[in-house]
A = this chain, B = another copy of it.
Amino acid sequence: MTYSEENYLKTIYHLTSMTEEAVSTNAIAEKMDTKASSVTDMLKKLAEKDLVNYIKYQGVSLTENGKLAAKMIVRKHRLWETFLVEKLEFSWDEVHDVAEQLEHIKSEKLINKLDDFLGNPTEDPHGDPIPDAEGRIIKVEKRLLSELEKNQSGICVGVKDTSSDFLKYLDKQEIALGSQIAIIEKETFDNSFKIRVGSKELMISNKIASNLYIQ
C-alpha cells in the first residue's frame, strides 16, 4: 500500500468511526485538503483493492480489510506518539506531525517490538485508544466536560481537538490527562463554565469544555 493510499484509508476510518455511515467524496477532500476529483480517483483504486465499498455518487465506507488496515495505521501513529512523549521528551503538542511520517514505516516486527518496549500502552498521549496487533480497541466510556452539570466532577482522560494551539492552552492552564476537574458554575448565557482544576479555579468557554473528555 502506498503512502497516499494509507492516508486516504486513515481519513475514511476517522470520518466513518463516528457516524458508521458512508462518507462523501467532498468530506474526504475537505479533511485531506485536496480536490474532490483526486478523491474520486483514489476511491476507485481502493475499491479495486477491496479496501473500500464504493458506489458512484453514493459515498464510501471501509471493507473489513480496509478497516483493519486503517486500524494498523492508527496503531502505529499512536504508538509512535507515545514513544515520542514517553521516551524522547516531546510534549504532546509536538508529536502529531512526526507521527504522521512514522505511521507509514512498514515493519510488523518494528511496531510490535515498539509496543512491548512501551509496555503495551492502551492510550496515546492525547487519551486516544491504541489498537492492539489484532486491531482490538479497548473502549472506555467517557463524556465531554461540556455535558457535566454543576457540582459534578471527574478526571480528564482525553482531548477531542489535538491541535497544537489547544494543547498549549491546556499546558498553560495546567490541565493535563489525569487532572481532577469539577464544575463550579455553568453560565447559561454563553454555556461557559467556571471549573476547578486541582486547587485552581478558572473560566473556560464552551468550546474548551466541548473538547475535553472526562471520566
Contact = CB atoms under 8 A, between A and B. Distances in A.
A113 interface: yes
Interface string A79-107: 00000100111100010011001100111
- Counting chain A residues whose Cβ lies within 8 A of the other chain, the interface size class is 10 to 19
Given A98-B105, A105-B102, A110 B84 contact: yes
Given A84-B110, A102-B105, 14 more contacts: A87-B117, A88-B110, A88-B113, A88-B117, A89-B113, A90-B109, A94-B109, A98-B105, A98-B107, A98-B109, A98-B110, A101-B106, A101-B107, A105-B105
Contacts of A29: none
Contact of A88 (B84, B102, B114): B114
- Copies of this chain held together in the complex: 2
A88 B112 CA distance: 9
Contacts of A110: 84, 88, 98
A97 to B, nearest CB: 8
Interface string A106-134: 11011001100100000000000000000
Contacts of A90: 109, 113
A-B pairs with lowest CB-CB distance, top 4: A88-B113, A98-B107, A101-B105, A98-B110
A98 B117 CA distance: 17
Nearest to A112: B88
Contacts of A101: 105-107
A101 B3 CA distance: 12
A113 to B, nearest CB: 4
Contacts of A88: 110, 113-114, 117
A107 B96 CA distance: 12
